Structure 1
Amino acid sequence: MPARRGFLRGLGPALLGMAFAQAARARCERALVVPVAPTGFNVQVLPDGQVRGVYPDLLRSLEPALGCSFSFPVVPRPRQSLMFFETGEADLFLPASRTAERDQKAEFLPMLRLTPTLITFGASTEALPASVEALVARKAWRAVVVRSYTWGSEYERLLRRLEEQHRVDVVADLKTLSQMLRAGRVQFTILPPTLLHSALQDGSSEARATQDFRFQRLSGLPPSEVGTYLSPSTFDAETRRRLRRLIEQALAEGRLQQIMGRYYPAEVLKADVQWL
């Protein structure tokens, strides 16, 4: 027994050294860059410039285990996409909807599915289009969309068809989109209900804000995979693997669901989100 204890005592410094070596390798040389633009409750920029919201909260919860911190420079939405896909200034791009074109440029990690929904404003007895084809055929209706937002390949095809008919107004943010719908300058948008809910938090009561809108799912427009793109070139493969594993673990533990529950009412999440 004494010999065994001596053997174990001898292993102690070696095991401790290995733990320190692993921790040292796990530390990042710099903060991982995640450019963000205000996206409802998903990403909020406070008056003092601090960033919070569903996805910043999730990433910050991973920092101790990852050994890396995250930096969240605030940029316009088009600049966010440019920094990641074109200029190589960003390590992560989120929240991001998956498209075939983006998959050719970076590694996608799905987190949930959101349901792009036809949304109109105001009381009406007129039946809403129930399919993509019926919406395209209603040529008197104009759409408003947020620049660089996408909800998958089918959404992109629908948007191109509407643009060919000169029926699309493009705005910079959700607040402007909501204002145009309320003013009757356009007849509809297509958004996941969670994002519309975020856009409506403008000082009016939640009940009043939501009751004036009508929602219709469109056949031919499936749920969109939403998650994060990881750059294949701006940070090392080991850190990328570690980050992917930690995000997958957080999803399996329900951490994203818990964080979203702090920002969104349960009924809004139920109407929109499919958990992976």
Structure 2
Amino acid sequence: MKLWPALLLLTALPQAVQAGCSRPIQVPVGPVGLSVVVDGDQISGAYPLLLQQLGATQGCRFVFQPVPRARLERLFETGAADLIVPATHSERRDAYGEFVPLILSRPAAVSLQSRRAPQLHSTAELLGRKELRVVVVRGFDFGAPYQRLVEQLREQGRLQQESEVGTLLRALQEGHADLAVLSPTNVYGVAPPGGKPLDPQLRVEPLDDLPWREAGFYLSNKSLSPADRDLLRQMLQEAERSGAVWRALSLAYPPQALEGAMKSR
């Protein structure tokens, strides 16, 4: 996966090494499209590479560990994870950490071209098409409107939840669900278990009443010292201001994956 050129562009960041973090920063991660790529114990993707480059200039070391997304949320809540990478802003997470916005993102309806569901433009249309079965990833949170949609789909008996994006794609591929609701960037570059990525087959339809939301990283209020949290916040804010975050994503994803799903702040 050709993500290494991102490191070349990121060298535009200030190179003076700071005093650094007081200890290694623990970052459990689950696969999130090409943003976070998990291959066994190997972690890559736009955001891990970005953090490694930023850490090299700021004197911070990031320790990545692959975990299911739902478990990641629990680790963050209990103080066993220092960061959530990446995450959308949500009131629930605010109880456990500080949000650092980096981009704007929104979820959409994602289906396969070979199983074309009727064209959708809103969650109201989706809720009205009661024959359509919907799959989501347990632990993903795109804000209150998304959570209301998930709850309504559950009440209608149409909701399927999977523990990770790969099994969500398998549900679409095998016809157990008609469409998924999540950010399109979550699925690009991800393969169903035992298969290949379905990127050319994906159909993306923005749901206009699911608003753009800030997305970025969460810093733990429980596990991080105030000094480490301040350093990490400043490091990420500078990466956002300099354009390093958007450059890393643009190098990782094809344009069609970002269009309508992500944009710079």
The TM tier, using the shorter chain, reads 0.7 to 0.9
- In structure 1, give the amino acid aligned to 2:84: F
The CA deviation at 1:185 is 1.4
- CA 1:138–1:241: 2 relative to 1, 3 Å: same
Instruction: Structure 2: give runs of 5+ residues left out of the alignment.
Output: 1-15
119-128 or 223-232: which moved more?
119-128
Q: How does 1:36-185 map to 2 (within 5 A)?
A: 36-47=29-40, 49-85=41-77, 87-123=78-114, 127-185=118-176
1:238 corresponds to 2:227: yes
Q: In the alignment, is the contact (CA less than 8 A) between 1:152 and 1:225 conserved in 2? A: no
Q: Which residue of 2 aligns with 1:26?
A: 19
Residue 32 of structure 2 contacts residue 187 of structure 2 at CA under 8 Å; is this kept in 1? no
The aligned amino acid for 1:60 is: Q
Query: For residues 187 and 64 of structure 1, what CA distance do their matches in structure 2 show?
Result: 44
More moved, 113-122 vs 166-175:
113-122
Does structure 1 residue 256 correspond to structure 2 residue 240? no
Q: Which has the larger radius of gyration?
A: 1
Post-superposition shift, 1:201?
Answer: 8.7
Cα RMSD of the aligned pairs, angstroms, is: 2.5
Secondary structure, aligned partner of 1:162: helix
Distance 1:270 1:129, change over 3 A: closer
Does 2:210 align with 1:221?
yes
SS of match in other structure, 1:260: helix
Q: What one-letter code is carried by the residue in structure 1 that aligns with 2:26?
A: V
Q: Which runs of 5+ in 1 are unaligned?
A: 1-22
Query: Aligned partners of 2:250 and 2:194: how far apart in 1?
Result: 21
| Contact 2:26/2:83 (8 A) holds in 1 | yes
The answer to which structure has the higher strand fraction is 2
Percent of pairs identical after alignment?
33
For residues 32 and 72 of structure 2, what CA distance do their matches in structure 1 show? 12
Deviation at 1:257, TM superposition (A): 1.6
Distance 2:75 2:117 in 1: 43
Kindly tell me: are residues 38 and 191 of structure 1, through their superposed partners in 2, closer, same or farther at Cα, counting changes over 3 Å? same
Is 2:50–2:245's contact at 8 Å kept on the other side of the alignment?
A: yes
Runs of 4 or more consecutive aligned structure 1 residues displaced over 6 Å after TM superposition: 201-206
Q: 1: distance between equivalents of 2:258 and 2:18?
A: 39
Aligned-residue offset at 1:262: 2.5
Provide TM-score, normalisation by structure 1: 0.82
Whether the aligned pair in 2 keeps the contact of 1:26 and 1:239 (CA below 8 Å) is no
8 Å Cα contact 2:85/2:217 also seen in 1 = yes
Pick closer, same or farther for the CA change 1:160–1:204 going to 2, 3 Å.
closer
The alignment partner of 2:177 has SS state of coil
Alignment of 1:185-200 (within 5 A): 185-199=176-190
C-alpha separation in 2, matches of 1:251 and 1:192: 20
CA gap of 1:250–1:56, structure 2 versus 1, over 3 A, is same
Shift of 1:148: 0.6
Equivalent pairs counted in the alignment come to 250
Query: CA contact under 8 A between 1:34 and 1:73: conserved in structure 2?
Result: yes
**Distance apart, 1:28 and its partner CA:** 3.2
Provide, for residues 119-150 of structure 1, a one-character-per-residue CA deviation record: whole Å limited to 9, x for no partner.
22245786423211111111111111111112
Closer/same/farther in 2, CA of residues 266 and 125 from structure 1, 3 Å limit: closer
Structure 1's 239 and 118: CA in aligned 2 closer, same or farther, altered over 3 A?
A: same
Moved more, 175-184 or 23-32: 23-32
Structure 1 position 66, deviation (Å): 2.5
Amino acid across the alignment from 1:55: Y
C-alpha distance in 1 between matches for 2:17 and 2:203: 54
Give the AA of the match of 2:25: L
Q: 1:163 to 1:238 in 2, by over 3 A?
A: same
Deviation of the 1:204 alpha carbon: 8.3
